[in-house]
């Protein structure tokens, strides 16, 4: 690999709290999606500053590290440098879900089931679009062997969709994947399909069966696998170890398959039809308004991770109608993000901004918008607003045209063929409008290097030098960092600094700055200063396990503080009684950014006395 992905992987694993803090890990097109046992152990600031990381997003019950195009390489590297099981989840994951809200659980469940299969769905959609171009241009006929074979490759993923969903749903719900796929196979078994097409009435143990086609369906098999997981878990608890290997799958197949045909399947099918009808009703009521809303807010949905909730609707639409208009409407918003990044790229003279914006502008053309969103448009705000407005205008045009997607695809230059059909010409025009309107609008109104210069002016006004005096936040005894009991701190791997053994349970701000991180457990705080110093104060060792007991945090993240402001109160005696070392390190976590770091001599110290001096 051209880049050292293993080094990046090690840093990410370390700063999400170590592999022992990871319940599960999957990835999508641009993000590593962690399920963590304790999010307070993750160091968001450190991860975001790693070379190769775009940003960190906490959404849908997941700790998402946005990488960009190299996400698959980093994902594989994590598997090589750690014992984290890729694509696996542990029992603790369920406990985390119980603590999370319903929306977080729902989004996490949907993304876990659909994310692994999106690449093949996109590939199949693009192949269908190419075949449509070939038949329209007269290069192929629908009766030719070439077309028949390639169409079978493109359509099989949709025809046998229940079997693919059974596999991913079983992984999420912790059911036997082979039993789940077998149940799905029964739903689309040739004899069943023949019986349905002939209109023959059948019954199971005298109970009439409502026969309906489950080819390309989404909801019935997911519900069936969920019930399968519950039954399987019960059987594995009550059956003797010697027979559960073959008795459990036997009982599951004998119960879940007929139960799906009798109850689960019809309920799931009617629910899917309801979702499809609901979307069609909204769309048909006023397509232009629907296009404006979806086009304007789609990238906002992406930021919060709730865009996953729309994936089943799109798949369901394709299963019911053969095409989906929603994917066409939201598609131009991707190009609007790319256009905004292009506008910043053309306008800025700052080398760093130009590099980031240029890269984001290119990846956005291929449907990967996270680098644009987190690296450029959200950062400067106005470009994001302009891109949303451009996406809204283009979305309204697409909705008016009636354009639709023939498969589940993320719009980019390579996937445009998937939108061939009704309204295609106007769809392409709308995509161009989204891209160029966003680029021009951003260039003219959305960005200026003054945004950077203003920040530097503020810094210059408040700081005549690049020196910083860090004072003691505690009363107590100074201890060399190398002498503390925790090796991570003693080795200075987290940064240079000093430690205090406090004599009083009050922690004050050692600098004028901003609270970057305020852990709700109260055991640690991060501050940043105007000259860019990043300071970490960690009250005691392993005190995070107290889960906030004996700590009273007085500030919150984002709050401006002055030197000497009270930040945390804590009960030293009770913390010690629990068996914890109360020694408190004060670290400069970005020590490499300073040419000079002077540490005070070991001695008793009072709040407000200098303990560290920094110079750039």
**Tens-place pLDDT, residues 364-404:** 888 777 778 877 888 788 999 999 999 999 999 999 999 99
CA dist 260 and 186 (Å) reads 10
Residue in 183, 350, 163 with CA at minimum distance from that of residue 255? 183
CA dist 385 and 398 (Å) reads 20
**Tens-place pLDDT, residues 464-509:** 456 788 899 999 999 888 888 877 778 787 788 899 999 999 999 9
Q: Which residues are tagged catalytic?
A: 28, 538
CA dist 487 and 589 (Å) reads 15
pLDDT of residue 494: 75
Give me the chain's average pLDDT, please. Answer: 83
The three-state (H, E, C) secondary structure of 81-104, written as one string: HCCCCCCCECCHHHHHHHHCCHHH
Q: pLDDT class for 23, splitting at 50, 70, 90?
A: confident
Structure letter (DSSP) for residue 366? T
Residue in 157, 274, 175, 191 with CA at minimum distance from that of residue 224? 175
Structure letter (DSSP) for residue 261? I
Res. 39: pLDDT tops 90 = no
Res. 583: pLDDT tops 80 = yes
CA dist 447 and 366 (Å) reads 23
H-assigned helices in 323-381: 325-347, 351-364, 370-372, 378-380
Distances (CA, A) of 206 to 87, 135, 176: 42, 49, 30
Res. 222: pLDDT tops 60 = yes
For the whole prediction, is pTM greater than 0.85?
no
Q: How many Å is the Cα radius of gyration of the chain?
A: 28
Res. 336: pLDDT tops 60 = yes
Residue 294 burial (10 A CB sphere; 0-12, 13-18, 19+): buried
Residue in 580, 583, 502, 501 with CA at minimum distance from that of residue 547? 580
CA dist 134 and 547 (Å) reads 62
- Residue, of 586 and 493, whose pLDDT is higher: 586
Within 10 angstroms of residue 333's Cβ, the number of other Cβ atoms is 28
pLDDT of residue 123: 77
The three-state (H, E, C) secondary structure of 519-559, written as one string: CCCCCEEEEECCCCCEEEEECCCCHHHHCCCCEEECCCCCC
pLDDT of residue 87: 57
- Residue, of 27 and 239, whose pLDDT is higher: 239
**Tens-place pLDDT, residues 262-313:** 888 888 778 777 766 777 787 888 889 988 998 898 888 776 656 666 777 7
| Sign of the Cα pseudo-torsion (532, 533, 534, 537, in order) | negative
pLDDT of residue 461: 41
Structure tokens at 143: 């009766």
Within 10 angstroms of residue 598's Cβ, the number of other Cβ atoms is 11
- Residue, of 593 and 331, whose pLDDT is higher: 331
The DSSP bridge partners found for residue 289 are none
Residue in 302, 309, 305, 360 with CA at minimum distance from that of residue 335? 360
Q: What percent of the chain is modeled with pLDDT above 70? A: 90
Please count the CA atoms within 13 angstroms of the CA of 333 that sit on its side-chain side.
29
Contact 239, 194 (CB under 8 A): no
CA dihedral (528, 530, 532, 536) in degrees, to 10, reads -20
pLDDT of residue 91: 39
Structure tokens at 375: 């690296």
H-assigned helices in 137-160: 145-159
């Amino acid at each position: 690999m051209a880049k050292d992905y293993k080094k990046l992987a090690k840093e990410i694993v370390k700063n999400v709290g170590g592999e022992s803090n990871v319940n599960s890990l999957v990835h999508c097109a641009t993000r590593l999606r962690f399920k963590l046992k304790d999010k307070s152990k993750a160091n968001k600031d450190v991860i975001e500053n790693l070379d190769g990381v775009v940003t960190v997003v906490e959404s849908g019950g997941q700790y998402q590290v946005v990488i960009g195009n190299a996400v698959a390489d980093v994902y594989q590297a994590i598997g090589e440098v750690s014992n984290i099981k890729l694509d696996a989840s542990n029992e603790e994951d369920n406990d985390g879900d119980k603590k999370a809200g319903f929306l977080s659980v729902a989004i996490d469940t949907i993304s876990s089931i659909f994310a692994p299969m999106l690449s093949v769905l996109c590939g199949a959609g693009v192949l269908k679009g190419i075949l449509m171009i070939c038949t329209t241009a007269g290069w192929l006929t629908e009766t030719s062997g070439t077309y028949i074979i390639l169409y079978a490759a493109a359509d099989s993923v949709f025809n046998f969709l229940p079997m693919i969903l059974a596999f991913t749903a079983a992984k999420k719900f912790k059911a036997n994947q082979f039993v789940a796929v077998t149940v799905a196979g029964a739903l689309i078994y040739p004899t069943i399909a023949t019986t349905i097409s002939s209109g023959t009435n059948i019954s199971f143990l005298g109970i009439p069966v409502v026969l309906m086609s489950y080819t390309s369906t989404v909801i019935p098999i997911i519900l069936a696998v969920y019930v399968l997981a519950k039954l399987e878990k019960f059987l594995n608890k009550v059956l003797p170890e010697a027979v559960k290997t073959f008795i459990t799958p036997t009982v599951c197949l004998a119960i879940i398959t007929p139960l799906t045909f009798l109850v689960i399947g019809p309920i799931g099918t009617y629910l899917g039809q309801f979702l499809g009808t609901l979307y069609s009703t909204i769309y048909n009521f006023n397509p232009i308004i629907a296009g404006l809303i979806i086009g304007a807010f789609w990238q906002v949905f992406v930021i919060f991770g709730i865009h996953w909730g729309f994936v089943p609707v799109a798949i369901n639409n394709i299963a019911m109608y053969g095409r989906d208009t929603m994917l066409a409407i939201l598609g131009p918003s991707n190009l609007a993000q790319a256009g905004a990044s292009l506008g910043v790229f053309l306008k800025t003279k700052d080398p760093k901004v130009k590099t980031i914006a240029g890269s984001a502008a290119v990846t956005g053309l291929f449907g990967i918008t996270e680098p644009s969103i987190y690296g450029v448009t959200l950062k400067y705000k106005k470009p994001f607003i302009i891109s949303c407005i451009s996406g809204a205008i283009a979305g309204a045009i697409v909705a008016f045209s009636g354009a639709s997607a023939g498969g589940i695809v993320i719009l980019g230059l390579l996937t445009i063929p998937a939108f061939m059909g009704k309204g295609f010409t106007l769809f392409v025009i709308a995509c161009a409008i989204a891209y160029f309107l966003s680029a021009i609008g951003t260039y003219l109104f959305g960005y200026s290097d003054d945004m950077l210069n203003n920040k530097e002016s503020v810094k210059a006004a408040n700081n005549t030098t690049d020196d910083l005096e860090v004072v003691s936040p505690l009363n107590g005894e100074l201890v060399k960092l190398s002498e503390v009991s925790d090796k991570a701190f003693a080795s200075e791997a987290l940064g240079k600094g000093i430690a205090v053994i406090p004599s009083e349970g009050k922690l004050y701000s050692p600098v004028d700055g901003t609270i970057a991180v305020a852990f709700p457990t109260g055991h640690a705080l991060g501050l940043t200063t105007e000259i860019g110093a990043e300071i970490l104060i960690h009250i005691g060792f392993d005190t995070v396990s107290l889960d906030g007991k004996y700590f009273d945090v007085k500030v919150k993240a984002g709050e401006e503080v002055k030197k000497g402001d009270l930040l945390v109160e804590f009960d030293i005696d009770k913390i010690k009684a629990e068996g914890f070392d109360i020694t408190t390190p004060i670290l400069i976590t970005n020590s490499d950014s300073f040419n000079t770091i002077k540490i005070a001599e070991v001695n008793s110290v009072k709040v407000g006395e200098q303990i560290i001096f920094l110079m750039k």
